[in-house]
Amino acid sequence: MKIRLTIIAAATLAFLSGGCSYLHEKDYTLDIANRKTPVEIIAHRGYSRAAPENTLAAIKAVGNLAGWTEMDVRLTSDGKLVLMHDEDIDRTTNGSGMIASHTYDSLRRLDAGSCFRKSFSSERIPTLAEAITTAKATGPRALVERKAGTAADYHRLFVAQKLKPDDFGVIAFDWNFLKDLSELNPDYHLGALGKGTLDQAVIDKAKKSGADFISWKHSNINQSVVNRVHASGMQLYVYTVNDPATMKKFIAMGVDGITTDEPKVLSELFPPPSVPKDCAPENPVSQPE
């Protein structure tokens, strides 16, 4: 009898302390619905769940699912800015070696899609210019993550492409790069990438670099950090969030943007605007197609 009571007590304690997690999971539906503006959705490396990362196919796949398509950029041996996350090309192409040791022409001959799926075998490593042009044609704005290259390299391309500062954004872990880019054009939309403790000193340093928003590792962010960044006159984005529960939490916190591999999942979390009953027509008339 004593053993049975002990088992029941243990089961009850487990139930109350998290055995049934739904008891402790906050419902963020109302918080999301009450947001005055929806969170910015940033498709990570393009829609990298649907197409090979950092390719034109991945950018096209974003469509209207996200306001931004993020792309990683590196420099070839002959000075071309191309899309690639890693320092080498081994993981995502049928080639090998460092990006910096390849010429642009040698990279263009590589298959950048089959490693994802055979049906993407025609995908090639795109230039930054091609990627931005594709993004502009298909909807989302380009969010350029600088992996390598100088501020002058990027500024030169932006000018040559006749881009307006509102057409794109630039993010970087190297805040000196951001400062240099800001000095070339203070109207550029710049984001300071980082992780770890985001205290006031770090926020102030990001602001001095010319950044107008901060993009931070999501596991380092809580409500007080969100409030602190906003009080400093900056926006806060978080990366990289893929599960709906965590997405909801950050939307409710009031972050300005979320980088995700799952833009479709994130876009579906926003409820459609409701129509007040007194505004709804009593006898709806079909509209012509």
Q: Are 58 and 47 in contact (CB under 8 A)?
A: yes
- Going by their DSSP bridges, the two strands 190-194 and 168-172 should be labelled as parallel
Q: Are 127 and 80 in contact (CB under 8 A)?
A: yes
Cα separation, 190 vs 57, in Å, equals 25
Q: Are 51 and 120 in contact (CB under 8 A)?
A: yes
* 44 has catalytic annotation: yes
Distance from chain centroid for Cα 288: 38
CA dihedral 240, 242, 248, 254 (to 10 degrees): 20
In DSSP terms, 71 is beta-bridged to 144
Work out the number of other CB atoms within 10 angstroms of the CB of residue 154. 23
Cα separation, 145 vs 129, in Å, equals 14
Catalytic residue among 44, 102, 189, 218: 44
The 8-class DSSP code of residue 15 comes to I
In DSSP terms, 213 is beta-bridged to 191, 235
Catalytic residue among 24, 85, 102, 218: 85
Helices (H), the chain: 2-14, 29-33, 56-62, 104-108, 128-138, 151-160, 175-184, 200-208, 223-231, 244-253, 263-267
* 189 has catalytic annotation: no
The answer to whether the Cα torsion of 77, 81, 86, 89 is positive or negative is negative
Catalytic positions are 44, 85
